[in-house]
Structure 1
Amino acid sequence: MITPNFPVDEEQRLAAVRSYSLLDTLPEKDFDNITALTANICDVPISLVTLLDADRNFLKSHYGLNFNESPRDLSFCGHAILDESNIFIVEDARNDPRFQDNPLVTEMNAIFYAGVRLVNSEGYPLGTLCVFDTKPRMLSKSQKKALISMAYQVVNLFEARKRNRTLLAVQQELKEKNEELKNFAGIVSHDMKMPLANMIITSDILRSKYGQHLDKQGQDYLEYIKQSSFTLSEYITGLLEHYESDKTASLNNEVFDSNDLFEEIIELLNINIDCEINLPETNLEMQANRAALEQIVLNLVGNSLKYNDKPRIRIDIECFEKDGSYHFLISDNGMGIAKNKLSQIFDLFTTTGNLDRNGKKGNGIGLSTVKKLVTKLGGEIEVSSKIGKGTTFQFSIKKK
């Protein structure tokens, strides 16, 4: 018997083998299907997918055997990975000096062997797809071709599992980073709201107590401080709602009337401008996440009020049930959204660039939060718009 040599790049090869995290793993159906099919095609009793470790031959899949590893210095695969031909064949190991006294031959009657190296994308042979028989034999041309093709599929499985593990690791890291960001945003936002409220109150106190001593420019500075504080406070509130939308979407479902919800939202908006809001003719009894739906509609109707340059604002709300979902349409006669902006308006921090009826610019958080909530509630949202004519938001949520 001749013990197989080690490849010249054995250290790098072993690192490649271990990078797939397949050593000492449990059997998997995908690999077992390949060895069973390979044995059938080659008409042999044994077929293996092997990974050659430092001192052992690990059998990732073993058809026809009841063990999952063997010493490397006894393995046929140790010789096979050194052979750069398409397929390594030993027709009768009893007549081959490399294997004559090998216990696999003398005790387990491993007479015939054919193995194809499993070479990864970096060129390292990780192990083999191989077959054994207990008698001398030859493989036909089609059997050799099939064995080579099946080895190629084994390598594809190796690579796919490695990519999946990498993606899962990246996904987990992103999830953890996102959670850290949410916690950070929540802490910072809460900590900033009180100083901003103090700035707003202080600017009012300064105007009330010392306003008579200030010229118009001084008065304008105070107003600028107050309005800037309001803008930043709205921005922070939007951020908190966005990062807490997961919690909102996970709240329990309730049974409620649709028009009761809409009327409550209109009250919350405290509208003090000329506005006509038309509610649906049919009042639905709904079973859904009321808090999340309220936040969605409140945001959309609020936008219809803010981004409207007409003397009289008109908002039409429609609601109906279909195919296990509640469907909503909220239309207005507002400024409209440019066609090239429609595909981006649900992206976080993306704005249309329009100033609202009070001359303020949006922060690009509200519609992103709406999209996030709609998706969490199992629905979809779309928008259509014409500049100067108005905008329609159409969305759905699953009935629970």
Structure 2
Amino acid sequence: MQVPQIPYNERERLESLYKLNILNTPPEEEYDNLTRLASVICNVPVALVSLIDKEKQWFKSKIGTDLCDTDRNLSICAHAINAPTEIMEIPNTQKDIRFKNNSLLKNPKGPIIFYCGVPLKDKNGNAVGTLCVIDHKENKLSHEQKVSLQALAHQIEKLFELREQNLHLRAVQKNLEEQNELLKNFAGIVSHDMKMPLTSMIVTTDILRAKYADKLDDQGKKYLGYLKQSSFKLSDYISSILTHYETDKLTDEHPQESFYLNHFLEEIIDLFNIEENCEINFPENDIEITCNRIALEQIILNLIGNSLKYNDKDKIVIDFDCYEDAKHYHFTVSDNGMGIEEKKQKEVFNLFSTVASSDRHGNKGNGIGLSTVKKLVTNLGGTISVTSEVGKNTHFHFSVKKDLHKKIA
């Protein structure tokens, strides 16, 4: 018996095989279907997807045999991979000197008499194994059967490529998730650690103004005002970042509740210092909602806050609308504010994206609020969009998925 020659590209070949992370994995229907087709098309009892490791050949898919692997030195496929571009057909292995005294050929349960294998290659031409068919008697494939076997082998190679791509994407996704978790933790630590010094700055500013009021001129008082205003703005910015990175916790940790929409909206409106020049209209139909109340509250708070801040009209008008279908609650929050340019409407939900130069009071936004809103809506199984006409109105439309199985009294 001749021991199979080690291919000249053995190192690259094995690297390609190991990249697939496929050895000793459970059977998969995609491979088994192709192997079964090979058996039927070639009219033989045995068909295999054989992968050649350093010391073993292992069968990813098998039809007509109970073997899971064999020693590489006994493998006919280990001979086949030395000619990656050719089909290796052996009508009768018992007449081939290379396989004399090979124990696989004498297996009483199913001796390997006929063999035909097509090397399975990676994109660089390295053969990692074969698609092979076996018969227990002398045989020979027709031209059409060989062409079909090659076509099936090509489909298996495509499965290998997809597997490698999926493994790469999973690795990228895992890395991104780890980086995002680190960023969330960093944001939380930094935000909490900066809150206290900022509070101290704000309090100290008030103390300086009160204690040294008679010694400060108007310019000095103005500088203290700038310092306090900047401290408040930075504090708000930090709070927004913290809220953004805690949205997953907000939607994961709070249970579903049932409540009536209009009473819910009244409670939210009470949190704002609404002036007489603001008109807020609730939905005509007061429907009962069952969802994550805390998350929905954060969404509405952000949208109302924007409607109040980014409005240049003498009278602010905010309209709420809501309806439900079998799977979702659908909400619309509309206002008669500054509006958003059409070219900027797609960017409005991007983190740190600001679409207006300043709000009603001349302050510039931080571009975090609407990104947080979108994240919350997505976590609640919904979608969000915006339509707007500059100088006239803005309409935010979003949905929240129903989950009646978690409905509580």
Is TM more than 0.5 here?
A: yes
2:151 equivalent in structure 1: 149
Question: For residues 91-131 of structure 1, what are the alpha-carbon distances to aligned partners after superposition, in whole Å with 9 as ceiling and x for unaligned?
Answer: 11122221233222234531111000001112111011101
Distance, in Å, in 1 between the alignment partners of 2:27 and 2:189 is 47
Residue in structure 1 matching 2:239, options 220, 237, 240 = 237
**Contact 1:316 / 1:330 at 8 angstroms: preserved in 2?**
yes
1:255 equivalent in structure 2: 258
1:5 equivalent in structure 2: 5
**Contact 1:199 / 1:226 at 8 angstroms: preserved in 2?**
yes
2:98 equivalent in structure 1: 98
Q: Given the alignment of the two structures, is residue 389 of structure 1 paired with residue 392 of structure 2, yes or no? A: yes
1:361 equivalent in structure 2: 364
1:161 equivalent in structure 2: 163
Distance, in Å, in 2 between the alignment partners of 1:344 and 1:254 is 32
Single out whichever of 144-153 and 31-40 deviates more from structure 2.
31-40
1:64 equivalent in structure 2: 64
Question: For residues 231-275 of structure 1, what are the alpha-carbon distances to aligned partners after superposition, in whole Å with 9 as ceiling and x for unaligned?
Answer: 111111111111111122231111112111111111101224621
Question: For residues 371-399 of structure 1, what are the alpha-carbon distances to aligned partners after superposition, in whole Å with 9 as ceiling and x for unaligned?
Answer: 11111112111111111112111112123
For 1:219-230, what aligned pairs fall within 5 Å after superposition? 219-230=221-232
2:191 equivalent in structure 1: 189
Question: For residues 321-353 of structure 1, what are the alpha-carbon distances to aligned partners after superposition, in whole Å with 9 as ceiling and x for unaligned?
Answer: 233322221111111111111000001110103
What are structure 2's unaligned runs of at least 5 residues? Answer: 404-409
Distance, in Å, in 2 between the alignment partners of 1:257 and 1:13 is 65
Letter of the structure 1 residue corresponding to residue 21 of structure 2? S
Residue in structure 2 matching 1:338, options 337, 341, 350 = 341
Question: For residues 136-192 of structure 1, what are the alpha-carbon distances to aligned partners after superposition, in whole Å with 9 as ceiling and x for unaligned?
Answer: 121111100111011111111122222222222221222122112111111111111
Partner-residue secondary structure (3-state), 2:94? helix
Partner-residue secondary structure (3-state), 2:199? helix
For 1:47-86, what aligned pairs fall within 5 Å after superposition? 47-86=47-86
Letter of the structure 2 residue corresponding to residue 283 of structure 1? D
Q: Given the alignment of the two structures, is residue 135 of structure 1 paired with residue 99 of structure 2, yes or no? A: no
Partner-residue secondary structure (3-state), 2:284? coil
Letter of the structure 2 residue corresponding to residue 168 of structure 1? R
**Contact 1:354 / 1:361 at 8 angstroms: preserved in 2?**
yes
**Contact 2:330 / 2:400 at 8 angstroms: preserved in 1?**
yes
Deviation at 1:84, TM superposition (A): 4.2
Letter of the structure 2 residue corresponding to residue 31 of structure 1? Y
Question: For residues 252-302 of structure 1, what are the alpha-carbon distances to aligned partners after superposition, in whole Å with 9 as ceiling and x for unaligned?
Answer: 111112111111111101224621111222222222211111111111111
Single out whichever of 309-318 and 341-350 deviates more from structure 2.
309-318
Distance, in Å, in 1 between the alignment partners of 2:303 and 2:18 is 53
Residue in structure 1 matching 2:330, options 317, 327, 335 = 327
2:127 equivalent in structure 1: 125
Distance 1:111 1:324, change over 3 A: closer
Question: For residues 60-95 of structure 1, what are the alpha-carbon distances to aligned partners after superposition, in whole Å with 9 as ceiling and x for unaligned?
Answer: 222111111112122111211112443111111122
Provide the TM-score with structure 1 as the length reference.
0.96
Superposed CA RMSD:
1.5
Distance 1:118 1:205, change over 3 A: same
2:381 equivalent in structure 1: 378
Question: For residues 291-321 of structure 1, what are the alpha-carbon distances to aligned partners after superposition, in whole Å with 9 as ceiling and x for unaligned?
Answer: 1111111111111110111111111112222
**Contact 2:84 / 2:125 at 8 angstroms: preserved in 1?**
no
Deviation at 1:27, TM superposition (A): 2.2
**Contact 1:86 / 1:148 at 8 angstroms: preserved in 2?**
no
For 1:263-282, what aligned pairs fall within 5 Å after superposition? 263-272=266-275, 274-282=277-285
Distance, in Å, in 2 between the alignment partners of 1:84 and 1:122 is 11
Provide the TM-score with structure 2 as the length reference.
0.94
Deviation at 1:217, TM superposition (A): 1.9
What are structure 1's unaligned runs of at least 5 residues? Answer: none
1:173 equivalent in structure 2: 175
**Contact 1:80 / 1:128 at 8 angstroms: preserved in 2?**
yes
Distance, in Å, in 2 between the alignment partners of 1:120 and 1:26 is 21
Partner-residue secondary structure (3-state), 1:391? strand
**Contact 1:307 / 1:335 at 8 angstroms: preserved in 2?**
yes
Letter of the structure 1 residue corresponding to residue 340 of structure 2? I
Partner-residue secondary structure (3-state), 2:279? strand
1:88 equivalent in structure 2: 88
Partner-residue secondary structure (3-state), 2:176? helix
Single out whichever of 180-189 and 163-172 deviates more from structure 2.
163-172
**Contact 2:320 / 2:334 at 8 angstroms: preserved in 1?**
yes
Residue in structure 2 matching 1:311, options 293, 311, 314 = 314
Distance, in Å, in 1 between the alignment partners of 2:274 and 2:8 is 80
1:14 equivalent in structure 2: 14
Single out whichever of 288-297 and 267-276 deviates more from structure 2.
267-276
Partner-residue secondary structure (3-state), 1:268? coil
